[in-house]
Structure 1
Amino acid sequence: MRIRATVAAVSGALALAALAVPAAHADEVEGDTTISNVVVNGGKPVVVGATTTKTITVSFTVKDASGVDWAQAILYHGTNIDSSDSGAVATSSNHRATCTVVSATTSNCKSTFEMEPQYNLINSVAGGWKVWAIATGKDADYTQKDNAKSFQVQRYSKLTVNASPEPVKKGRTVTVTGALTRASWDAGKYYGYGTQSVKLQFRKKDSSTYTTLKTIKTDSAGNLKTTTTATVDGYFRYSFAGTSTTSTVNATGDYVDVQ
């Protein structure tokens, strides 16, 4: 599988970093070099669809009294980077971060990474990922962190809703159907997400706020169906809070005219 190529690339990049510092298998500090303010994808979960490659940015601050020499970050899934089962190296030619000097002792560093289904993303690696990072000072001091930052990589989800009949008489029953699906990185398609809790919500015609009416579960195929009573004109939608492996999503509200 193509994912093996990325794991090999991660190992290769790690070996490159190890040329300058001791072997990478735990946090290490030599001198006063520090890494801080690590931000992945603007602080948001990395959500990836079934087929589209997602490019994300990782930024961090490096400080050293002698000035910053270079820095590097690697993304990985696993207990530690040595036992990782997937990962990503920076898209730069040498896999190192681009560092901008802020002062004589401080640099802001940034790298971009590509997360690609059927390459470094398969269904089994959805969930928690980590950032391995290293930075060196101009005096050969360095710091190395096995987990400089944890973040979520999630499968993109979709949610539909349909409320009927339209229009409906006040006091009559409204039937609300829909479906929750999520990306399969293995297959490059979307499949129903079964036995998941989803909220049925409603907002009045002139309101901007949705209120939860009830919570139901999807069936084994990801389908949704429930009923409620028509009271006033407004919009029905389903809302899914997401899981550690799957993104949150709200269906676009379906308007019902109550007569």
Structure 2
Amino acid sequence: MRIRATVAAVTGALALSALAVPAAQADNQVPDLASLVPSTSKATPFAAVAPADESLGDTKITGVTVNGGKNIVVGTTVKKSFTVSVTATDPEGVQDAFAMLWHGPDTESADGAIVPETLDNEQVGNCTNSSATTATCKVTLIADPKDNLYKNLLAGTWKVWAAAAGNDGDYVIREAYKTAKVQRASKLTVNASPEPVKKGKTITVTGKLSRANWETYKYAGYTGQPVKLQFRKKSSNTYTTVKTIKTNSTGELKTTVKASADGYFRYSFAGTTTTPAVNATGDFVDVR
């Protein structure tokens, strides 16, 4: 039910649809983008459908940047605050802009939404003009594993819904201007033993790859994933790959190598669409 609250928001208040904006236009007023912003109340019932691509006049969105171009990585309990910047142009100047993230195959089947937490009166974005016709407006969104990231299947690719309004009442809406990744935070450990060890003897290297579970609020093993065992000599700053192994059914890693020189062993995970790359902190082995 949690998502129905969030998506309701998206769908209900998003239904500025063909009515809200054109109504403002009819009076030659600047459209109120604040009316687009959904409520985050969990009590809001599922309502309508978010407006699809729509425009009036010559307002254009020329760029959208999510979280500074980085993936949005969320753990088990801490909220992740991030910024979405919308750059827009209009011959008469830009009045406001807005963006949010939504998840699903289409807006009618959306099962997730990440929207701005607060509004400043009627203005949605914090806008900075770079010229008389262009502005970049920023909105702050919050990804919360105890609210809008209520199930693990929400990890992966999200679509970015964006809107902008000109000072003359023109506007533009893009339901999927671009995509962004929202990922489950990952952890990776390593332990090489025995320490110290005689040259030529066997070293056993263990570890575990785990990631945030948004349903239990704990970290759980990431199974069946390829992970590289890497080594760097004490005198070097560069790791080289020794071999690649896969995590077992609980995310555990275990392999053996021959001791050759003093240095650091670590495991390295390249990441997936749903889970970010991570390197374990190197474990030093003294070879005698």
> Could you tell me which residue of structure 2 aligns to residue 88 of structure 1?
114
Between 31-40 and 8-17, the greater mean CA deviation after superposition: 8-17
Partner of 2:33: none
2:15 is paired with a residue whose SS is: helix
Give, in whole Å, the separation in 1 of the partners of 2:283 and 2:213.
Answer: 27
- 8 Å CA contact 2:202–2:257 kept in 1: the answer is yes
Q: 1:21 to 1:112 in 2, by over 3 A?
A: farther
Decide whether the 8 Å contact of 1:78 with 1:129 is kept in 2. yes
Matched, 1:8 2:37: no
Distance 1:95 1:206, change over 3 A: farther
Query: Cα distance 1:239–1:207, how it changes in 2: closer, same or farther (>3 A)?
Result: same
- CA distance, structure 1, for counterparts of residue 66 and residue 123 of structure 2: 17
Q: Is the 8 Å Cα contact of residues 89 and 95 (structure 1) preserved in structure 2?
A: no
Shift of 1:2: 2.7
Percent identity at matched positions?
60
**CA drift at 1:85:** 0.5
Distance 1:125 1:35 in 2: 27
| 1:232 equivalent in alignment to 2:261 | yes
Q: Which of 178, 192, 211 is the aligned partner of 1:163?
A: 192
> Is 2:215 aligned against 1:186?
yes
Counterpart contact for 1:91–1:112, Cα < 8 Å: yes
| Residue 36 (1) aligns with residue 36 (2) | no
**2:21 corresponding residue in structure 1:** 20
What amino acid sits opposite 2:125 in the alignment? Answer: A
What is the deviation of 1:3? 3.0
Match of 2:238 in 1: 209
Amino acid at match of 2:61: I
C-alpha distance after superposition, 1:37-84 (max 9, x if no partner): 211111111000011110010012110001112211121111233321
Query: What is the 5 A alignment of 1:62-211?
Result: 62-93=88-119, 96-121=124-149, 122-211=151-240
Higher deviation after alignment, 42-51 or 81-90: 81-90
Q: CA-atom RMSD, angstroms?
A: 1.7
- How far apart, in 1, do the equivalents of 2:224 and 2:254 lie? 13
SS in 2 for 1:169: coil
Contact in 1 for aligned 2:99/2:161 (Cα 8 Å): yes
Tell me which moved more, 228-237 or 88-97.
88-97
Contact 2:191 2:205 in 1 (8 A): yes
- AA paired with 1:180? L
- SS of equivalent residue, structure 1 residue 20: helix
Quote how far apart the aligned CAs of 1:30 are. Answer: 2.5
Deviation at 1:238, TM superposition (A): 0.3
- For the 8 Å contact 1:234–1:256, the answer to whether it is kept is yes
Greater strand content: 1
Q: If the length of structure 2 is used for normalisation, what is the TM-score?
A: 0.85
Q: Give the letter for the 2:176 counterpart.
A: N
Cα separation, 2, equivalents of 1:30 and 1:124: 36
Q: Distance in 2 between matches of 1:6 and 1:161?
A: 39
Q: Which amino acid letter does the alignment assign opposite residue 77 of structure 2?
A: T
- SS of 1:82's partner is helix
Q: Which of structure 1's runs of 4+ aligned residues deviate more than 6 A?
A: none
Distance, in Å, in 2 between the alignment partners of 1:202 and 1:168 is 16
Cα deviations across residues 132-181 of structure 1 (Å, max 9, x unaligned)?
Answer: 01111122222111111211100001110000010111111110000111
Shift of 1:17: 6.6
Structure 2: gaps (5+ residues): 24-48
In structure 1, stretches of 5+ residues that fail to align are none
Aligned pair in 2 of structure 1 residues 112, 21: CA closer, same or farther (>3 Å)?
farther
Q: Is the 1:13–1:89 contact (alpha carbons within 8 Å) kept by the matching residues of 2?
A: no
Bigger shift: residues 39-48 or 13-22: 13-22
Paired residues in the alignment total: 259
How many Å apart are 1:233 and its aligned residue? 0.5
In 1, are the aligned partners of 2:12 and 2:50 still within 8 Å (CA)? Answer: no
- Partner Cα separation in structure 2 for residue 58 and residue 239 of structure 1: 30
Q: Distance in 1 between matches of 2:259 and 2:251?
A: 25
